[in-house]
A and B are shown apart, each in its own frame.
Chain A
Amino acid sequence: MRFLPDAEQREFARALDALLTAAGTPRTARAWAAGDPAPGRALWSRLADAGVFALAVPEEHEGLGPLPVELAVAFTELGRHAVPGPLVETVAAAALLDRLGDKAASAAWLPRVAAGRAVVSLGVPALTGPYALDADTADAVFVAEDDTLRLAGAAGPVQPSADPVRRLARPSAGGTVLARGPEVAAATAYAAEVAALATAAQSLGLGRALLDRTVAYVRQRTQFGVPVGSFQAVKHRLADTLLALEFAQPLVHAAALALAARGTAPREVAAAKVTAGEAAHAAARTALQLHGAVGYTEELDLSLWIRKARPLRDAWGTPASCRARVLAP
């Protein structure tokens, strides 16, 4: 039966959770936002050592994958700890190169991705708009557009954004064309599914962290002489937050299983993406409301999670596009 993650997958999640808890990700994320990627790069290497990026890279290129279920497990933890960087884009680019089967490009980049030596961004303008995440600091920015895959040059200036940890920049025009043809479109569609799955898992972890932090807060914050968490209006909002996350989780797991089994699972991935994205977005709104004014501050680390929820909901598949895909014939 595979309705639940197995013992090994659960242990992998626990190990990553412990690693990231000890790493103190809020400081890393704030440095990343301020334009200092060094702590983020150091953490990136440790995640690579733990096997995270190898999950998206096939064995022939020094990886362990592709392993979508383990990837979803890992990205849930990355989301839980608000880890900075183009995590999704890196594994999606690896998926694209792997599916494309271009030997030179794969040999050049995939071993480096698996080992954590390449931080990679990916732009698919038709899906992600004109910006590529963290394109200013990435070691490579791939752009897939109109049946063409190219390696872009240096990125344009960073556009300040709602979540400053997500640094948005336009990839440069031109660069090196790596491949051209319908196989690029097919590989890009697959990469977009991997990206959507990883983003859904990230949202799930993000939502869990928002819920956990908010529950802890309303248990200790007192007003009218009692913990505010004893009020029914507060309880019910948190119950709804848990409900949404609990029912998003099996969709994410099932989408990963489907992707692993069939190599493509557009409907399942879309269902997981919209559900996890909406659940995390709602969790952020709840976290903000129940923390009150202090939750509205940049200073509180909670802001690192709150500000990421809405961008993740829309990245690699807006809610509307996901819903349309679920019903596509």
Chain B
Amino acid sequence: MDLDFSAADDAFRAEARAWLAAHVPAAPLPSLETAEGFAAHRAWEAELAADRWSVVSWPEEYGGRGSSVLRWLVFEEEYYAAGAPGRVAQNGINLLAPTLFEHGTDEQRARVLPPMASGEVVWAQAWSEPESGSDLASLRSTAVRTDGGWLLSGQKTWSSRAAFADRAFGLFRSDPGADRPHRGLTYLMFPLGAEGVTVRPVGRLDGKPAFAELFLDGVFVPDEDVIGAPGDGWRVAMSTAGNERGLTLRSPGRFSAAADRLTALWRERADPSDTALRDRVADAVIGAEAYRLFTYAHASRLAAGGSIGAESSLNKVFWSELDIALHETALDLLGPYGELSDEAAEAPAHGGWAEGHTFSLAGPIYAGTNEIQRDIIAERLLGLPKGRR
């Protein structure tokens, strides 16, 4: 694709490519959803951070390079093309950090961001509750005022990475008397190892503890770990939700790299007379390219002073469905080997698509279900009237 990158962009790309070629582990790390793999991925974060590659778009004072969004996209393309490991720190980097940049204090940024960038502190999200999924504003976990801080109680669930992470962030009801459900919520950060926290890992479809339930019983959190004003948590969190769905959660590089692998697999294994499969491979390749171009266009709008709002819902639906299509097409190409888990002794010879497939199946559910996203698209982008959910 003939897109204009400046000479400086190209130099940045070359630098990233060279570094990755020298550092990316030759063999894939164990799954980051296991204790052993989590530790290995944490060490990889430290290696990235040592040469300022873990958070390229952050200001230098926090461990970044002050790169533009466009450069970040370039880095991500190189990162996934190099077959580099999944990012165990991504919940913090993609969800919490943007909130701190927008709503945090200088003290919070100085304290929280550098250890996040280095992988020293890995963050989990704590949004959902057993009775509050898509209707997040109905959440019931409480933050009760105490001397110098807050006491958190209640239950959080589907907390990604919480089985092995160090700290978590989420919303708590601090004013039960507020007139509307989304008022009276406070955004807090808390340690998962603190007294009063019980973490119960939950196995996802493939059994790996990719998320956890959190039981909180009077967990003390000091005032310094409140982000934004008490009671203003909904507004603060929504800026994070926008980032999660939007540009920063799933960079196009992931899908471009997967589409390249899929094409290679198809050339190597497909029956040339199977045009139905060929069409699916073509659609996956086209989809990855469409997502890349769409994202660069949005990054250009951002660079020109625009902002991303409900458009991020378009992104989220698109990449999550693309991801499943990519992986299911790969499994179909693999035939009987598509049934193997990545841990199977014979799996490495067949592309290691299984874990990616399992992960892709969650895409239409997390970060706001695709049903909610389609409501947002219809109401905010097309101007259709609100209705019952």
A residues whose Cβ falls under 8 Å from a Cβ of B = 1-4, 211, 215, 218-219, 226-227, 229-232, 234-236, 238-240, 242-243, 246-248, 250-251, 253-254, 257-258, 261-262, 268, 271, 274-275, 319-320, 322-324, 326-327, 329
Chain B residues positioned under 8 Å from A254 (CB to CB): 1-3, 289, 293
B374 close to A (CB within 8 Å): yes
In the complex, are the beta carbons of A219 and B383 less than 8 A apart?
Answer: yes
Given known contacts A2-B3, A247-B291, A218 and B263 CB-to-CB distance under 8 angstroms: no
Chain A residues positioned under 8 Å from B285 (CB to CB): 271, 326-327
- B-side interface mostly: helix
Given known contacts A242-B377, A243-B318, A250 and B387 CB-to-CB distance under 8 angstroms: no
In the complex, are the beta carbons of B389 and A232 less than 8 A apart?
Answer: yes
Closest Cβ of chain B: how far from A34's Cβ, in Å?
Answer: 35
Chain A residues positioned under 8 Å from B275 (CB to CB): 320, 324
- Rounded to whole angstroms, the CA-CA distance of A234 and B384 in the bound complex is 10
In the complex, are the beta carbons of B318 and A231 less than 8 A apart?
Answer: no
B275, B384, B385, most chain A CB atoms within 10 A: B384
Nearest 4 A-B pairs (CB), nearest first? A230-B387, A235-B378, A250-B293, A323-B282
Other than the known A3-B300, A248-B290, what 18 A-B pairs have Cβ atoms closer than 8 Å? A1-B300, A3-B297, A4-B300, A230-B387, A234-B384, A235-B379, A236-B375, A242-B314, A243-B318, A247-B318, A250-B293, A253-B293, A254-B1, A254-B2, A275-B286, A319-B279, A327-B278, A327-B282
In the complex, are the beta carbons of B289 and A251 less than 8 A apart?
Answer: yes
In the complex, are the beta carbons of A235 and B384 less than 8 A apart?
Answer: yes
B19 close to A (CB within 8 Å): no
In the complex, are the beta carbons of A258 and B1 less than 8 A apart?
Answer: yes
List, sorted by A's number, 7 A–B pairs whose CB atoms are closer than 8 Å.
A219-B384, A230-B384, A239-B377, A239-B382, A250-B290, A253-B297, A327-B285
Chain B residues positioned under 8 Å from A232 (CB to CB): 371, 375, 387-389
B296 close to A (CB within 8 Å): yes
- Rounded to whole angstroms, the CA-CA distance of A240 and B381 in the bound complex is 12
Please pick, from A238, A246, A329, the residue contacting B314 in the complex, using a CB distance under 8 A. Answer: A246
Chain A residues positioned under 8 Å from B317 (CB to CB): 239, 243
Chain A residues positioned under 8 Å from B377 (CB to CB): 239, 242-243
Closest Cβ of chain B: how far from A226's Cβ, in Å?
Answer: 7
- Rounded to whole angstroms, the CA-CA distance of A247 and B291 in the bound complex is 7
B294 close to A (CB within 8 Å): yes
Chain A residues positioned under 8 Å from B388 (CB to CB): 232
What 1/0 mask marks residues of chain B from 267 to 291 whose CB sits below 8 Å from any chain A CB? 1000000010011011101110111
Chain A residues positioned under 8 Å from B385 (CB to CB): 219, 226-227, 229-230
Closest Cβ of chain A: how far from B310's Cβ, in Å?
Answer: 11
Interface size class of B (residues with CB under 8 A): 35 or more
Chain A residues positioned under 8 Å from B301 (CB to CB): 4
A232, A257, A261, A268, most chain B CB atoms within 10 A: A232
- Rounded to whole angstroms, the CA-CA distance of A128 and B382 in the bound complex is 36
In the complex, are the beta carbons of A236 and B374 less than 8 A apart?
Answer: yes
Chain A residues positioned under 8 Å from B180 (CB to CB): none
In the complex, are the beta carbons of B2 and A215 less than 8 A apart?
Answer: no
- Rounded to whole angstroms, the CA-CA distance of A320 and B301 in the bound complex is 34
What 1/0 mask marks residues of chain B from 345 to 389 whose CB sits below 8 Å from any chain A CB? 000000000000000000000000001011101110111111111
B299 close to A (CB within 8 Å): yes
Please pick, from B70, B290, B387, the residue contacting A226 in the complex, using a CB distance under 8 A. Answer: B387
What 1/0 mask marks residues of chain B from 216 to 251 whose CB sits below 8 Å from any chain A CB? 000000000000000000000000000000000000
B106 close to A (CB within 8 Å): no
- Rounded to whole angstroms, the CA-CA distance of A99 and B58 in the bound complex is 49
Closest residue on chain B to residue A211 by CB atoms? B382
Given known contacts A3-B299, A327-B281, A268 and B378 CB-to-CB distance under 8 angstroms: no
B4, B267, B377, most chain A CB atoms within 10 A: B377
Closest Cβ of chain B: how far from A166's Cβ, in Å?
Answer: 26
Given known contacts A215-B383, A229-B385, A239-B374, A324 and B282 CB-to-CB distance under 8 angstroms: yes
Chain B residues positioned under 8 Å from A230 (CB to CB): 384-387
Chain A residues positioned under 8 Å from B318 (CB to CB): 243, 247
- Rounded to whole angstroms, the CA-CA distance of A233 and B375 in the bound complex is 10
- Rounded to whole angstroms, the CA-CA distance of A12 and B179 in the bound complex is 50
- Rounded to whole angstroms, the CA-CA distance of A98 and B282 in the bound complex is 32
Chain B residues positioned under 8 Å from A247 (CB to CB): 287, 290-291, 294, 314, 318
In the complex, are the beta carbons of B286 and A242 less than 8 A apart?
Answer: no
B303 close to A (CB within 8 Å): yes
Closest residue on chain B to residue A327 by CB atoms? B282
- Rounded to whole angstroms, the CA-CA distance of A271 and B266 in the bound complex is 18
Closest Cβ of chain A: how far from B197's Cβ, in Å?
Answer: 38
In the complex, are the beta carbons of A235 and B375 less than 8 A apart?
Answer: yes
In the complex, are the beta carbons of B4 and A215 less than 8 A apart?
Answer: no
Please pick, from A234, A240, A257, A323, the residue contacting B3 in the complex, using a CB distance under 8 A. Answer: A257
Please pick, from A3, A236, A324, A326, the residue contacting B286 in the complex, using a CB distance under 8 A. Answer: A326
- Rounded to whole angstroms, the CA-CA distance of A204 and B301 in the bound complex is 21
- Rounded to whole angstroms, the CA-CA distance of A231 and B267 in the bound complex is 44
Chain B residues positioned under 8 Å from A261 (CB to CB): 2
- Rounded to whole angstroms, the CA-CA distance of A234 and B377 in the bound complex is 12
- Rounded to whole angstroms, the CA-CA distance of A242 and B373 in the bound complex is 12
- Rounded to whole angstroms, the CA-CA distance of A258 and B293 in the bound complex is 13
Closest Cβ of chain B: how far from A245's Cβ, in Å?
Answer: 10
Closest Cβ of chain B: how far from A326's Cβ, in Å?
Answer: 5
Chain B residues positioned under 8 Å from A238 (CB to CB): 378, 382, 384
Chain B residues positioned under 8 Å from A236 (CB to CB): 371, 374-375, 378
Closest Cβ of chain B: how far from A203's Cβ, in Å?
Answer: 15
Closest Cβ of chain B: how far from A168's Cβ, in Å?
Answer: 27
Closest Cβ of chain A: how far from B305's Cβ, in Å?
Answer: 13
- Rounded to whole angstroms, the CA-CA distance of A248 and B285 in the bound complex is 13
Chain A residues positioned under 8 Å from B263 (CB to CB): 327
Closest residue on chain B to residue A319 by CB atoms? B279
In the complex, are the beta carbons of B290 and A235 less than 8 A apart?
Answer: no
